[in-house]
Chains A and B, each alone.
Chain A
């Protein structure tokens, strides 16, 4: 082992300290009454939930450009501060604390995984910071959040209801749910059971262990119940394995999955005949809207997932809400009180373009902003209403669109 003298150690230590100090220099806290208005984004950029992280952060930055290009909020520029949640609630809490205490953000957007959102939500409402979230777990908006939480993604209940209704639409009388333990697995089983019972049908479910190489036993157990349709609640890796085992077992009934399980990534990972005919329910960005078309044109992409569209809207909603009441102090409470006035004002002019909406708001006009992620109307508890879903089916190895509803 190399010996280290005291002098060498001191040199190393001083070097390390200098690196640390360099970081602190430019980060002095700025109050929100001068300089750019800061909006925090907590986005999964690394770790297990990071599949959309890159486009999410690009979409958020684009929103900043659009708002600042239209003159900013009351003449002030806005700025997003993006922090990585590392797909881990503990790291997300540290990131949120930094955004709230050092950057003094008026709102935190992003917030994708349900565990991350549940962990940072108390920090947000306690510090009167608005939280825009793209998570699905119903429990999030049942917290005592005093109106500081706005959810732009459909809840688990809504997704489960739509899947259940769709299963009955395709003529199923019985279903079997197969999925890993997630915050929503049991809710899906309960919701879909209720829907089937109303129509005189039956069903059951099984929660399995994630990331296994074979689900033969689980599939056998599911098929013993002779279901007309198997509902796949897993993510891409498990769903691929389950579909293969269903295929091997000669199952000929319907298969319905969710966007996070049955999608183009899965279609490319499994043989075409294994996935042929499997349905998927995808919370849709409002793909027909001009807002969506403008956004994907700016990003140079053929299509964009709804979560990245939501990131764009988080930033735009925050900016429009603050611009709506220029006389009020710029803080989370003002933001909270003005979101609905610009997102769902029935008498306001319907606008699909963030820059145009901002100019109208600045001119004192009433607007109803509909973004790339949807019409953005929020219920009393902060849940989004009027979300569209794409119903897709795997056909010859690609996802084909059946309908948007």
Chain B
């Protein structure tokens, strides 16, 4: 085997690939060959590094230099400077926004300092399309240990003792779920991986599948052994082509090595995994809908009980777990329950992956111990709010979660604390908002999503959410009344109480939490007919202050609808009937004469 002196790790996640990551790999290969370094330097496509804000990311090993925002054209310089001459390419290093100093090693970057990577341990480290690299990192050793040394009961006990809870949103204890499935007697049982990631802005499951697909396969096989299932199904949305192709490669490699299939490790245990594609319906993330969709039926939920653990896919006991939950399993088996439960808070153990998005400087994928505060996540890891603006709110848990504010920043994040604040963990989406975001519009955005994604089976969700949306729309148009606010709150509570599945039971959360935390903003929309954030177009108008206007005519020239009139060197006037509120004049005026009211 060739002994490489340097490895160049290039992020091969969807985000970085979209920014020409693949071309970087090809160019690096070409330049390395031109310099006859192909036996000394290995270029590796890895999974997501998490630092998507500054992608594409390239990491040089062994000196751990971390290059950001690399372009395919930079390949020549990286090879000739870094590899041949041993000098770092300064301009590609990450610049610390506070100190303005260049940081060359990832471990010195604020973004990585507070992170502990368990579920993402191999993302950005191994080549996901190479089973050998996974095995070199103790891959499939956990499966081997479980099959040869532990009984299903013993293995489940490790998971129960570890305190691992479902990472898909609900937070149900994983070991307990396995135990319920194990105890049900049936001819055939199934193990399902829920990879129907649907929250806007969340991409942790995709990144794990793209960066470390074998971890999920191994965990599913362990789950199969523990629950008595021989068949595994991964329900993945068809919108994730890269994850699908890497999973297919991983499944084939595992079968070739005998790590999936008949008689694994010579123990007589058989297990195989197949893929099932979803069409990207949000409701199919709910386990009963997911199972119906796999059966070829409409993706609609059914009443629980019976729980899938008792009667699921084809009426057989089915254990459904989320991708991130699975990614934790092999490490827990190898390192032990005690190690895992030493991380986190009293009732939430281990780490959680969050997809940090919105108005934050370091958009990306992060993994932190449970109990980390929102402030640490947003300001230390996320690097604070973009453009020096003021933090306003953070939305956790996607369309099922709520908006948290300044006063929640120091609460340790775990399942129970988030629920107590009126939000939820959800799958781990985290959308940060600044002073320019209107909370009524935010609630309306999520309702728009829920209305679109409601399957329509039960009336509270189908009709109720639509009515909620209409009321919010009325508010943003400035036509809302005091009664609407009361109605909004009442209807929200009714939908929560009476909906059939998790989608409807949580869909009013964005409305309720914004009403609770930003009551004054709702009132401003109703009473004063004003949008404090200046986002609701119907509630604002651009006005020219006559004293400041010198009549340069610039505004009237940029106005696309000719709404601005006035003679040269005379104050201008905006006709409110014609104005479409595009803001072009506001941006152009050099004298600050145009204001928003």
Partners in one complex: no
